[in-house]
Amino acid sequence: MSNEVAAIAVDVGDLPLGGGLLALVRPALNALDPGGVLAVLSRASSVSEDLPSWCRAEAHEYLAVQEISPGVERHLIARGRFAISIPINHQSRLETPQRSLSSQEMLDVEPFPGSADPVTGFAPRGARVEQGGPTYPFTLNERAHVAPPEIAKLYDQAVAAQWDANSDIPWAKVKSLPAEVECALGQVMTFLAENELSALYVPSRFIARIHPHFAEVAMFLATQLADEARHIDVFLKRARLCGRGLGISSVITSRSLLSLLQCDDFIEATFLLSVLGEGTFLDLLSFIERFAPDEATAELTRRAKNDETRHVHFGLAHVRFGLATDPSLYRRLEATVRRRSATLHGAGGVPAPLQDALTILAAGGSEPRSVARGHECYRELLETMHLSRIKRLGHAGFTAEQAEMLSLLHTPNFM
Amino acid sequence: MSDQTILLGAVAYDPKVVTIWEGIREHFSEQGVAMDFALFSNYERQVEALLQGHIDIAWNTPLAHVRVRQRTGGKSHSLAMRDSDRNFRAKVIVHRNSDIKSLKDLEGKTLAVGSSDSTQARILPLYFLAAEGVDLARITLLPFDSDLGKHGDTGSSEIDVLRALHDGRADAGTVGDLVWVTEQAAGHIDVNKIEPLWTTPGFDHCMFDAHPGLATEKVEAFRRALFAMRWENPRHRRLLELEGLHEWLPAREEGYRSLEEALKLQASP
């Protein structure tokens, strides 16, 4: 037995078992396959008493001990057959960067797997996972349904683009406006906040289902949630500042957002929320920025629009990646839009309080000729939204015909 | 209740015992074996219940197992044991200031020992010390009978022994090797104060004892379902970890000879 060849030797000096020896012996055993032999060189006599007992408790095999020089013993241990070898991944090592270190570089050294096993739980991608753990209830385990290649770059951009709703908006420059403009602005901000609340809740439903091996997607969605939280914050601040407070929440908005919240499929929800909904909101925010009655309103809508642009990019990337790997997805997405449209059928057009508020905002007041101009701008907005949606759907990979049809079926609530 | 159900007895030495046996019952059911369990507060009553046929099988400590073998004249069926039940050992631990360098040095000193019904913390270490020529009459025993009836299952008397050693209330003490290494691994031992002096020869620990009259098909069904538990299966693993084993093994009797001998010596004046 003492002729057994040890794969690894560890010198533990005079450490007793309960005095730090295990911190050297356990990692050495972990580096071996089951059955692999470790030599422990020890100068402590108590180790002869304790190491065999520890091996019995841990189901390793204590093979033999030999005095190799006066006072120095060589214990041989075979790693137990119940221990499961956990290979070390040397490729995931990063070199020291010149300046910054991006998520994209992290992803490059440890790429997404094609599919992930729910039994790895919250273990980060690349961790050496001990076998026998419980199975987690993650359902988004396939890369094609979750993680587009652009995700790490989008996350890096999102982190760099965070801003402060308290101090980055020139709130001090807000002054009282004519009563009808104040009312219109309060209404528009109410509508925006209500819709952004849905954009906060909808992605959050999916984060807990995403396998942590695609953590960059969950992390990106976390920035999206932070963005929405900030938008809700600034929209409500603007509604209350010097104005008449909040406006009306319409049933059509409520129905539309409920149908969004009830969507159970991640890619379908991303399509409805980010490609169609937030995509349409880009034009709405541009409109509000263009007719903003003060600098603060223009600044907050501009900043919100920048954030929303990122969400739309994620939505497009997500859908495009899904379509590239699963051709049946076109049909599914089309069916989702049709189903939602059928649910909302007859519920009405664009919420009337919003229509009126956008018209007054564009008019800058209630003088009839200005209102006529405002109304014209509003009509142009609807046309712009339709055309942009078609363009965006084209980017996602739909044909012109499909895009036209899907755009027309989109909710009159915009989101 | 169907006659097909195997009724097993276990001693509730810890709340986890319920988790363990609910889990194993579920596993047996998946294997098509009807099994239920009854919990006892002490091994003496469990052994009586087995002998009177109130339960079919008892999950027994070595002391309870040896008593069942004696009371049934060796006719009980020994069904299975844990891998960790084989080659159990006891340790003699000494305080570093005690000047105890050999077993003979224990004479004239204070020796902390576990419960009087603990095989690993009292009965066998004292038996083996006597066999090594130590005069037990010249040792002052400091006994911790903290979990009587549980046959040392809780380990609390062994923890008491280690505490007495740390505090200097005893020069030496006897504990099972499992408690000694797990307490060290957990960082609960001050190695500057205490160290191991000696390890006893090996002996075997727990055993499933079946009533002599238990039908052969029930004996076979029990073994088949028990041996189907696998460390690699996460649900099984959780139960095996709680019960302190990696795999169930067939029974063997030779590991109980020293305990039989020790009990004989105790009985004779």
Per-residue pLDDT reduced to its tens digit, B166-203:
999 999 999 999 999 999 999 999 999 999 999 999 99
* CATH classification for the domain delimited by B90-199, as one of 3.30.300.350, 1.10.1060.10, 3.40.50.12240, 3.40.190.10: 3.40.190.10
B77-101 mean pLDDT: 96
B191 vs chain A: nearest CA distance in angstroms? 6
pLDDT at A245: 87
- For chain B, what is the total number of helices (H) and then of strands (E)? 9, 12
Q: Quick one: tokens of B212?
A: 């002599």
Is B191–A16 a contact, with Cβ atoms under 8 angstroms apart?
yes
* 8-state DSSP, A253: H
List the single range of A165-169, A341-345, B65-69 with lowest mean pLDDT: A341-345
Which chain A residues have a beta carbon less than 8 Å from that of B203? none
Q: Order the strands of the B207-210 sheet from edge to edge.
A: B35-40, B6-11, B57-60, B207-210, B77-78
State the distance between the two ends of chain A, measured CA to CA, in whole angstroms: 74
Q: Of A273, A272, A280, which is closest to residue A383 (Cα–Cα)?
A: A280
A391 pLDDT above the threshold of 80: yes
Contact B50, B241 (CB under 8 A): no
Do A34 and A161 lie in one domain? The reply is no
Q: Is B179 touching A (CB cutoff 8 A)?
A: no
- Amino acid in the structure at residue A70: P
Q: Is A94 inside any structural domain? A: no
A57 vs chain B: nearest CA distance in angstroms? 6
Q: Which residue has the tokens 């087995």?
A: B50
Chain centre to alpha carbon of residue A244: 36
A379 pLDDT above the threshold of 80: yes
Q: Within chain B, where are the H helices?
A: 16-30, 43-51, 62-71, 124-131, 156-167, 177-185, 216-227, 234-243, 257-267
Is A50–B184 a contact, with Cβ atoms under 8 angstroms apart?
yes
CATH number at residue A196: 1.10.620.20
- Amino acid in the structure at residue A39: A
Q: Of B209, B211, B219, B207, which is closest to residue B256 (Cα–Cα)?
A: B207
d(CA B106, CA B96): 13
Q: Quick one: tokens of B217?
A: 């098909």
pLDDT at A4: 66
What confidence category does residue A133 fall into, taking pLDDT thresholds of 50, 70 and 90? confident
Which chain A residues have a beta carbon less than 8 Å from that of B84? 56-57, 59
Is B177–A53 a contact, with Cβ atoms under 8 angstroms apart?
yes
Q: Order the strands of the A72-78 sheet from edge to edge.
A: A8-13, A37-42, A72-78, A61-69
> Is B6-85+205-257's fold the same as B90-199's?
yes
Contact A156, A103 (CB under 8 A): yes
DSSP states along A317-361: HHHHHHHHH-TTHHHHHHHHHHHHHHHHTTS-SS-HHHHHHHHHH
A42 pLDDT above the threshold of 80: yes
- What mean pLDDT value characterizes chain A? 93
| Greatest extent of chain A over all pairs of C-alpha atoms, in Å | 107
| Chain B, nearest residue to A46 by Cα | B196
Is B195–A16 a contact, with Cβ atoms under 8 angstroms apart?
yes
Q: Quick one: tokens of A375?
A: 């109304």
Is B180–A50 a contact, with Cβ atoms under 8 angstroms apart?
yes
Residues of A with CB under 8 A from a CB of B: 16-19, 22, 46, 49-50, 52-54, 56-57, 59, 80, 82, 119, 131-135
The tally of CA atoms less than 13 A away on the side-chain side of residue A397 is: 20
d(CA A333, CA A32): 50
Phi and psi at residue A298, to the nearest 5°: -65, -40
Is B234–A132 a contact, with Cβ atoms under 8 angstroms apart?
yes
CATH number at residue A63: 3.30.110.40
**SS3 for B91?**
strand
Contact A53, B91 (CB under 8 A): yes
Q: Which residues of B218-238 are buried (b: 16+ CB within 10 A; e: fewer)?
A: bbebbbebbeebebeeebbbb
Q: What percent of chain B has pLDDT over 90?
A: 93
Q: Within A32-178, where are the H helices?
A: 46-58, 103-109, 143-146, 151-160
Q: Is B198 touching A (CB cutoff 8 A)?
A: yes
Which chain A residues have a beta carbon less than 8 Å from that of B196? 46, 49-50
Contact B154, B147 (CB under 8 A): yes
CB proximity list for B120: less than 8 A, separation 6 or greater: B88, B89, B90, B114, B152, B158, B175, B176, B177, B178, B205
A46 vs chain B: nearest CA distance in angstroms? 6
CATH code, B6-85+205-257: 3.40.190.10
CB proximity list for A35: less than 8 A, separation 6 or greater: A78, A79, A81
Strands B140-143 and B110-113: parallel
What confidence category does residue B269 fall into, taking pLDDT thresholds of 50, 70 and 90? low
Q: Is A114 inside any structural domain? A: no
Contact B259, B63 (CB under 8 A): yes
- What mean pLDDT value characterizes chain B? 96
Alpha-carbon distances, residue B212 vs A5, B77, B217 (angstroms): 49, 6, 13
Q: Which residue has the tokens 């906040």?
A: A193
| Greatest extent of chain B over all pairs of C-alpha atoms, in Å | 63
Chain centre to alpha carbon of residue B212: 22
d(CA A227, CA A200): 9
Do A302 and A165 lie in one domain? The reply is yes
Phi and psi at residue A38, to the nearest 5°: -110, 135
Chain centre to alpha carbon of residue A110: 18
Chain centre to alpha carbon of residue B251: 15
d(CA A4, CA A1): 6
Q: Which residue has the tokens 């057009």?
A: A349
pLDDT at A89: 65
* Stretch 12-41 of chain B: residues touching chain A, C-beta under 8 Å: none
CB proximity list for A246: less than 8 A, separation 6 or greater: A186, A189, A190, A236, A239, A240
B129 pLDDT above the threshold of 90: yes
Q: Note the ipTM here.
A: 0.89
DSSP states along A208-250: TTB-GGGHHHHHHHHHHHHHHHHHHHHHHHHHHSSS----PPP
B59 pLDDT above the threshold of 50: yes
What confidence category does residue A1 fall into, taking pLDDT thresholds of 50, 70 and 90? very low
B1 pLDDT above the threshold of 70: no
What's the length of chain B?
Answer: 269
CB atoms within 10 A of CB A254: 15
Q: Tell me the sheet residues that pair with B207.
A: B60
A254-276 mean pLDDT: 95
Domain locations along chain B: 6-85+205-257, 90-199
B84-99 mean pLDDT: 96
B257 pLDDT above the threshold of 50: yes
Q: Of A36, A160, A152, which is closest to residue A86 (Cα–Cα)?
A: A36
Q: Is B247 touching A (CB cutoff 8 A)?
A: yes
Is A56–B87 a contact, with Cβ atoms under 8 angstroms apart?
yes
Which chain B residues have a beta carbon less than 8 Å from that of A117? none
Q: What percent of chain A has pLDDT over 90?
A: 83
B212 pLDDT above the threshold of 60: yes
CB atoms within 10 A of CB A27: 11
pLDDT at A129: 86
Q: Quick one: tokens of A40?
A: 């422990």
CB proximity list for B154: less than 8 A, separation 6 or greater: B13, B14, B146, B147
Do A241 and A370 lie in one domain? The reply is yes
Do A174 and A249 lie in one domain? The reply is yes
List the single range of A49-63, A89-103, B235-249 with lowest mean pLDDT: A89-103
d(CA B150, CA B114): 12
A2 pLDDT above the threshold of 50: no
End of a domain among A78, A109, A135?
A78
Domain span at residue A338?
143-409
What domain count does chain A have?
2
B125 pLDDT above the threshold of 70: yes
d(CA A267, CA B147): 60
Q: Which residue has the tokens 């409520």?
A: A254
Do A226 and A328 lie in one domain? The reply is yes
**SS3 for A76?**
strand
Is B246–A80 a contact, with Cβ atoms under 8 angstroms apart?
yes
**What is the per-residue pLDDT across A287-307, written as a single tens digit (0 to 9) for each?**
999 999 999 999 999 999 999
d(CA A273, CA A199): 7
Interface size A-B, in CB pairs within 8 Å, comes to 66
**What is the per-residue pLDDT across A69-112, written as a single tens digit (0 to 9) for each?**
999 999 999 999 887 666 666 666 788 888 899 999 999 999 99
Do A232 and A154 lie in one domain? The reply is yes
Q: Quick one: tokens of A391?
A: 């363009």
Is A16–B246 a contact, with Cβ atoms under 8 angstroms apart?
no
Q: Of A258, A152, A151, which is closest to residue A202 (Cα–Cα)?
A: A258
Is B182–A56 a contact, with Cβ atoms under 8 angstroms apart?
no
**What is the per-residue pLDDT across A346-366, written as a single tens digit (0 to 9) for each?**
777 899 999 999 999 999 999
